[in-house]
Amino acid sequence: MRKTLLAIIVPLWLLGCQEAPEQPAQLLYTVEPKPFSITVEAEGELEAASETIISAPTSARGAQTLAWIMPEYTQVKKGDVIARFDGSQLERRKRFSEFDKGKVAQDITVTDSDLTTRKSHLDSDKVIVSEEKHFAETFSVDDERIRSKLDILDQMQNVEYLNAKEAYFGWQTEQFSSSALGEMELLKLQSKQHESKIAMYNANLDALEVIAPHDGLLTLSADWRGEKPKSGQALWPGQKIGGLPDISSLQAKLFVHEKEALGLAIGQKVEFTLLSNSAERFDGKVTNVSPYPQSIRRGDPQKYYEIIASLDETPAHFKPGNKVLATVFVQENKQALLVPKHSVINDNNAFFVQVKDGSQFKRVKVELGQSNLSHTEVLAGLSPKQQIALVANKEL
């Protein structure tokens, strides 16, 4: 029993004699004025600042199939054929319209012949009635001594009947002329409609070839899926095919991920390098920033801001389509008090850091300025040489 108590008491006594483990030291950061800059990385390609747009014919109705197109970056001369569209559907529609026009022409001939015959019969009946009436009026005898009263009444009724018949034929002639004119006008209108369609198809057939308006380097335009025009593709009237850029004045079209687009603005300095030659660096300025981000690749949900930047100089070896990497200087180097972003505590939109005060830490409210990916500028609340907790810890 005694041995058992000793076995329990001795380990407990030895454990109590050990020193308590030290708490790990809090990592500190000394606040000092340092050079502060904000840069944003971007990538894109060179493009002409101005170009002559080459588009699909606007006279067509509906999509047209591209039969052939000149390879991109071909040096073209004025008058060269850049693209040619398939005209088989237009030819087929033209033939249908010509056939319909022929049918209408045949209908006009038949209708005109029928109307002429009907009018001839109507005129003949009118002449006969007129002669019968004239005969009845000329040889009418109303003397009761010669003819009976019944014969006289019968003769008078016959004259009235012929008068009514003559009036009827006159009315029928007017109605016939009006309806005949309407029928012929309708057929002529249909014929003009077909003629108009045929003229339109002829104009579209004449516009199947896209001609270069002047000398230049041909570039092709990509659609929203990133695909450039190719044979067999359907293009809508007026849809942009490509362009003849003015290569003497180039600009850079750049893309910045929406999460990295911090403080982009017109006038900021841009530094470029060609993807094919990173040793050379060129300068420029931001001339335009898109108001909202958008997807730039099919099937990629990530969104990017588009930036247009001018070039201070355009070397002779620069060509539209050259891929570039760029750095946008949102803020160039300046002296500022900086703290790591993970040292800042955000408490209901109020910002604090934990300043070392002897062996303790106290929370100090600070006013923050601009930030880059790692540090934040402190405008008020801290002084140089002060030490703060490197990692924010609300339990300190």
| Same domain membership, residue 358 and residue 223 | no
- pLDDT of 137: 61
CA–CA separation, 211 and 209 (whole Å) = 6
pTM over 0.75: no
Residue-wise pLDDT tens digits, 132-176? 666 666 655 454 445 555 555 555 556 666 667 767 667 777 666
| Same domain membership, residue 163 and residue 93 | yes
| Same domain membership, residue 138 and residue 70 | no
Question: What is the average per-residue pLDDT within 204-231?
Answer: 84
| Same domain membership, residue 227 and residue 79 | yes
| Same domain membership, residue 68 and residue 153 | no
Q: Does 232 map to a domain?
A: yes
Three-state helix/strand/coil letters over 298-352: CCCCCCEEEEEEEECCCCCCCCCCCEEEEEEEEEEEEEEEEEEHHHCEEECCEEE
Q: Which helix (H) or strand (E) holds 375?
A: strand 375-380
Q: Does 141 map to a domain?
A: yes
Q: With a cut of 50, say whether residue 21 has pLDDT above it.
A: no
Where in the sequence is the domain holding 343, given as residue range(s)? 28-36+333-389
- The torsion angles phi and psi of 276, rounded to 5 degrees, stand at -85, -10
- The torsion angles phi and psi of 269, rounded to 5 degrees, stand at -75, 145
CA–CA separation, 323 and 345 (whole Å) = 41
Confidence of residue 49 (pLDDT cuts 50, 70, 90): confident
| Same domain membership, residue 187 and residue 151 | yes
Confidence of residue 256 (pLDDT cuts 50, 70, 90): very high
Residue-wise pLDDT tens digits, 348-370? 888 888 888 888 888 888 888 87
Residue-wise pLDDT tens digits, 183-196? 788 888 888 898 88
Q: What angle do the packed helices 149-206 and 88-138 form, to 10 degrees?
A: 160
Distances (CA, A) of 45 to 28, 60, 346: 44, 33, 40
The last residue of a domain, from among 155, 177, 206: 206
| Same domain membership, residue 176 and residue 79 | no
| Same domain membership, residue 145 and residue 98 | yes
Q: Does 358 map to a domain?
A: yes
**Domains contained in the chain, number:** 3
What's the token pair of residue 101? 């026009």
Question: What is the average per-residue pLDDT within 262-279?
Answer: 88
| Same domain membership, residue 199 and residue 97 | yes
Please name the residue ranges forming H helices in 46-148.
88-138
**DSSP letter (8 states) at residue 294:** B
